[in-house]
Amino acid sequence: MNRITLMFEAAKKERRKTLVGFLTAGDPGMAVSERNMLAALESGVDLLEIGVPFSDPTADGPAIQAAGARALGAGATLGGIIGMAGRLRAASDAPMILFSYANPLFHRGYERVADEAAAAGVDGFLAVDLPFEEASEFRALLAARSLFFIPLVAPTTPEPRMREILSDAGGFVYYIMVKGVTGLRAEAAPDMKEHIEALRRCTKLPIAAGFGVGNGVQARAVAAHADAVVVGSALVEAARQGRLESLVRELSGALRG
């Protein structure tokens, strides 16, 4: 069984929520990035999103855009990142997904990427700009290797479209809480509860909510409605400031307290 499913089943039995942590691979260099990711896992991240840097990151706010630019400047490549994932897998049993835009995956080749990711111990993919209608080839290749293609749902997604997107989904649903790009917000979106309730009418998959969470108080508020909380920009900035582990412990503690 896929490690993502096992993680959510274990968390449900323990009656706790889970922490999904995003870090940009290769920021500020591959070696430092790998150490940061392992530290995040050891400090309490339940599921690691390994961000693949891309030159035109349309969904990313300033912090992750800057991290991607630093990573690309330091020579990060998709092949090198998959290799990093393999080394992380040797050190941790936690689920890991690659968070990418479609272009790097298509350029390397969907089948090649699926093969390499499966061999490295990756559990799934998020492709933020790959629409449902155009993702069937990649989804099939991943499914054949027991990997998940994680669907994303926005606040503007109507229920009929949700049902279509989630018709053959697996792993979990990534609910984007805000209209716009990644980055810290002062408070959770006021319509989050309503939209997550609509999502639950469309799927039995766990729901992870992200975009805007930066501290334990916010994480706890989101976890009141979602099964997992996704934190990205705040972790990227914390890693640069030398406080990654303390922030992960704060977030993880808020979800377990």
Q: Write the pLDDT tens digit of every residue in 129-143.
A: 999 999 999 999 999
Distance of CA 121 to the CA centre of its chain: 16
Catalytic residues: 49, 60
In the chain, alpha helices (H): 3-13, 30-43, 62-73, 78-91, 102-108, 110-120, 136-143, 159-165, 192-202, 216-223, 233-241, 244-256
**Residue located via tokens 């995956």:** 105
Rounded Cα–Cα distance for residues 62 and 158 (Å): 28
Q: What is the CATH number of the domain that holds 168?
A: 3.20.20.70
**Predicted local confidence at residue 185, as pLDDT:** 45
Rounded Cα–Cα distance for residues 54 and 58 (Å): 9
Instruction: List pLDDT tens digits, range 189-229.
Output: 667 899 999 999 999 999 999 988 999 999 999 999 999 99
Residue 14's domain comprises 3-256
The answer to whether 126 and 172 are in contact (CB under 8 A) is no
The number of folded domains in the chain is: 1
Q: CB atoms < 10 A from the CB of 159, how many?
A: 12
Tell me how far apart the terminal alpha carbons of the chain are, to the nearest angstrom. Answer: 28
H/E segment holding residue 96: strand 96-100
Q: Is the peptide bond before 53 cis (omega within 30 degrees of 0)?
A: no
Query: What is the percent of the chain with per-residue pLDDT over 70, rounded to a whole number?
Result: 95
Rounded to 5°, angle at Cα 215 from 237 and 180: 70
- List, for the chain, all residue ranges whose pLDDT scores fall below the cut of 70: 178-190, 257
φ, ψ of residue 228 to 5 degrees: the values are -145, 155
